[in-house]
Amino acid sequence: MDVVWRRVVASVPTFVFEVHIEGNIHQALIKLKHACDVWNSNIYLVVKDNEVERVSKYLEGALHEIKARLKIISVSKVRELYDIQKKDFQLKSEVGFR
């Protein structure tokens, strides 16, 4: 797992993120399924924009159990979110809301 967020330091991961840019997508999905099964984590997969549809096809077969739980996020959406958050931080700094 590339990133895990915990509500409390000594707890199990509440949110688990796997960032898949290259390599074995099946292995990335298995890691997320494990996190879901063992810890009941919220699971997220970040992929290249052109991989979103391909990943969705994997969820029709053996990994159908996590289909409803898995959030697939494209790299462009991550970038968009980052840009919005950065702009928000800058504006709040300019007007003194920090």
Whole-angstrom distance, CA of residue 76 vs CA of residue 49: 7
Cβ(41)–Cβ(11) below 8 Å = no
Triad 33, 36, 38: Cα angle to 5°: 105
pLDDT the model gives residue 86: 97
pLDDT single digits (tens) 41-95: 999 999 999 999 888 888 988 899 999 999 999 999 999 999 999 999 999 999 9
Whole-angstrom distance, CA of residue 32 vs CA of residue 18: 7
Pairing of strands 42-47, 3-5: unpaired
Cβ(33)–Cβ(18) below 8 Å = no
